[in-house]
Structure 1
């Protein structure tokens, strides 16, 4: 039997904007592959406020969001911010896992120092091309550079603009901004291997109820999770297919710079959810007879949010409505992507300040590590002489 793992995941890695994205999910996927039982510790609001700043989501929302990720076996609520051997022993874990970026306390100490020294620490790779910093930047700058049909040079302009120091920054903060390898902005490149790693690979089985839902599922959040959980309970053996609209389609009916995440990013976010069996990438906006027949759909579900008309003004759910298989589902959660964006815009100055503070701490650590390495190099050279 493989060893037991505990991962104290900072569900919100940067500045307390606790948006669980596919990068976090990929970290959990890698951690689960190191053992056979994955426990994820999630911090309380008070711990996060102390070390990072006030979170956007409540701790209860964050607990549920992490539980919905399919590689998670158990969630420890109110996990301590600093991981100790006592904590690992309490949950009978052999070692803990974290990404290859550093996590610091409010006074700049490594939160995994104790378990690293004891040899009960493992690392998994940080997912390139995604960060909470980047996602928040897209919201604040209102850019469309991340959309899947945009030229890469436009994306570079976006990354160059985001992270520019605001008029509220101090000169000492300026020198630190944008230099930490752990707090960066880069372009996400989708590959077939990433999709395979996230996909369940399971075909519908006899007796399964095939349920189809469609939408943007942008910034995949607790509102989406609650909706999919209710849909999942509608059948004894549900097989949920999520149809994701292309970026241009989402932008047509949502406007502004939506979607915040492009279709490739949204695909991985949705695939990581334990309630989802399959994803249609670039699903047609109208739920057609061909689509229903192709996937042998038994039930089509939609939340209580507004149903936008098709380009010609027609009802995109006309066919399932005609067949009597359309059901409106009340998840009991009214949270929308719009509401999340508004919360973050409201706290823009706090976000920028927290980002600069984190960058400064990380740069200090990097410089210290560099000095230590230089000293070791000198010692080795002197030993040879």
Structure 2
């Protein structure tokens, strides 16, 4: 069936609804059915009946919702799967996921690690998934494509930019591409199910099981080589964390539930316990233990997935509202502001974190019991200071601020404008700003207008006049000296990176 030649019909319906509506009414009066249009070579591949096409209630419902389909085995579910589904959802309004059957996986890839029931629990638990089709085929045939278009009302089939070949060497998505209903997303680098299987096998290989110690050095060398082959290539970015986060905070009277753990190799059991925990309150906060904490309590072979990999898997779960990355093993009463705590808020770019930042944060912290720091996104900083800024990316700036002893918590990607809703949500008592700050490129409304009107704004005298710009200017003033120094170090640095080997720790 030639799907791609029928796009003009739907474009015509969308852009000229009156013309096509009149055509349908005429057809109805003549007692004609859709088979009449088929007789003149007009096929209707999209999964909408005449009464369900939405053109008669266009004014009422607006643009029709786009349904996209993405399939997969989703065995050993990881953040790469979650990120793929997040990207797929962004291409439409409703995401339908096809879960390949155990039999199809066995025939095309080998035996699955997780059962259909376990994989279904994991996929259904993702915040971007609206519907799941179980027992989906591994290859999208023309027959199954017809079912997707008509029965499930799918508009587009989505897959990553990595090739997906059948055992006979043909493209598994050839039919969808031929139909003109195929869209591609970027594959998430740094993780795969194969990689995870390798990590598991490496971590469970125990050299102490062998009694022959004559070949101990050889076995140790083999073990080290095996481990180095399965080091995570995941490079965490603030953008990815922001993309996975809900971006919501608990309301002023919300009942916050806290649960912590390693959440290693995120599985169906994790989903179910998080689902139950969420039902106990209004906001679920999940503490994810650091790699060092997990190793200290479970042994050097654990965790299999690194902290940021585990964090993204948890954040992708629809039952989770927020996470604490690197949560402590011991739960103390200082982990969050107390019920009557005076919360102080200060925001900024905090680019090239310097002594001026430390001093203003120190002074801000003295105004209350809990210091909450808002860190503006890269886009916000660029928009107000120019395309050359920020010098350090959001994730880097966030870690610098979090490392400061005076800071209790940060908002990653905080808004430029402080609103009443934000003040209420975080129960902020005082909003502060230093007298020394970078200038914006534009004359615009006061971002502190709301806290000023509420009488909670406090202008702090900056103890130092240092700024990000002044630090950059110091470098520029000694440009020639720095260029010579960098040229001298260039060769040694190049040699270092060429010979660089993995070193444990972060």
Asked whether the two chains share a fold, i.e. TM above 0.5, the reply is yes
Say which is worse superposed, 201-210 or 34-43, in terms of deviation: 201-210
Shift, 1:205, TM fit: 1.2
Say which is worse superposed, 81-90 or 54-63, in terms of deviation: 81-90
1:59 is aligned, of 116, 120, 124, to 116
Whole-Å separation in 2 of the counterparts to 1:94 and 1:4: 6
Correspondences of 1:153-192 after superposition (within 5 Å) = 161=229, 187-192=233-238
Partner of 1:287: 331
Do 1:88 and 1:96's aligned partners in 2 also have CA atoms closer than 8 Å?
A: no
Correspondences of 1:55-94 after superposition (within 5 Å) = 55-83=112-140, 84=142, 85-89=145-149, 90-94=151-155
Do 1:50 and 1:106's aligned partners in 2 also have CA atoms closer than 8 Å?
A: no
- Structure 1: gaps of 5 or more residues: 13-17, 145-155, 163-184, 297-385
1:25 is aligned, of 57, 60, 82, to 82
TM-aligned CA distance change 1:260 to 1:160, over 3 Å: closer
Q: Deviations along 1:226-279, whole A, 9 cap, x unmatched?
A: 1111112223xx211011111011000011410001111111111000000000
Whole-Å separation in 2 of the counterparts to 1:61 and 1:230: 17
Partner of 1:5: 67
Shift, 1:52, TM fit: 1.4
Whole-Å separation in 1 of the counterparts to 2:190 and 2:69: 22
Do 2:70 and 2:88's aligned partners in 1 also have CA atoms closer than 8 Å?
A: no
Partner of 1:220: 266
TM-aligned CA distance change 1:5 to 1:40, over 3 Å: same
Whole-Å separation in 2 of the counterparts to 1:208 and 1:186: 37
Q: Deviations along 1:316-336, whole A, 9 cap, x unmatched?
A: xxxxxxxxxxxxxxxxxxxxx
Whole-Å separation in 2 of the counterparts to 1:26 and 1:9: 14
Partner of 2:163: 102
Whole-Å separation in 1 of the counterparts to 2:320 and 2:123: 15
SS at match of 1:268: helix
TM-aligned CA distance change 1:99 to 1:292, over 3 Å: same
Shift, 1:3, TM fit: 5.1
SS at match of 2:327: coil
SS at match of 2:98: strand
Do 2:190 and 2:235's aligned partners in 1 also have CA atoms closer than 8 Å?
A: yes
TM-aligned CA distance change 1:77 to 1:295, over 3 Å: farther
Partner of 1:380: none
SS at match of 1:234: coil
Say which is worse superposed, 127-136 or 195-204, in terms of deviation: 127-136
Q: Deviations along 1:177-220, whole A, 9 cap, x unmatched?
A: xxxxxxxx861111111111111110101442200001100111
Say which is worse superposed, 23-32 or 284-293, in terms of deviation: 284-293
TM-aligned CA distance change 1:50 to 1:282, over 3 Å: same
Correspondences of 1:109-120 after superposition (within 5 Å) = 109-120=170-181
TM-aligned CA distance change 1:157 to 1:46, over 3 Å: same
1:130 correspondence with 2:191: yes
* Higher CA-based Rg: 2
SS at match of 1:291: coil
Do 2:199 and 2:227's aligned partners in 1 also have CA atoms closer than 8 Å?
A: no
SS at match of 1:126: coil
- Structure 2: gaps of 5 or more residues: 1-62, 206-223, 341-506
Q: Deviations along 1:269-299, whole A, 9 cap, x unmatched?
A: 1100000000001111101011154599xxx
Once superposed, which parts of structure 1, at least 4 consecutive aligned residues long, lie more than 3 Å away? 156-162, 292-296
TM-aligned CA distance change 1:3 to 1:157, over 3 Å: farther
Whole-Å separation in 1 of the counterparts to 2:69 and 2:339: 37
Partner of 1:240: 284
Q: Deviations along 1:340-381, whole A, 9 cap, x unmatched?
A: xxxxxxxxxxxxxxxxxxxxxxxxxxxxxxxxxxxxxxxxxx
**Structure possessing the higher relative contact order (Cα contacts under 8 Å, 6 or more residues apart):** 1
Paired positions, count: 256
Partner of 1:249: 293
Shift, 1:143, TM fit: 9.1
TM-aligned CA distance change 1:186 to 1:102, over 3 Å: farther
Do 1:210 and 1:240's aligned partners in 2 also have CA atoms closer than 8 Å?
A: yes
Whole-Å separation in 1 of the counterparts to 2:275 and 2:182: 34
Whole-Å separation in 2 of the counterparts to 1:143 and 1:59: 25
Do 2:96 and 2:129's aligned partners in 1 also have CA atoms closer than 8 Å?
A: yes
SS at match of 1:41: strand
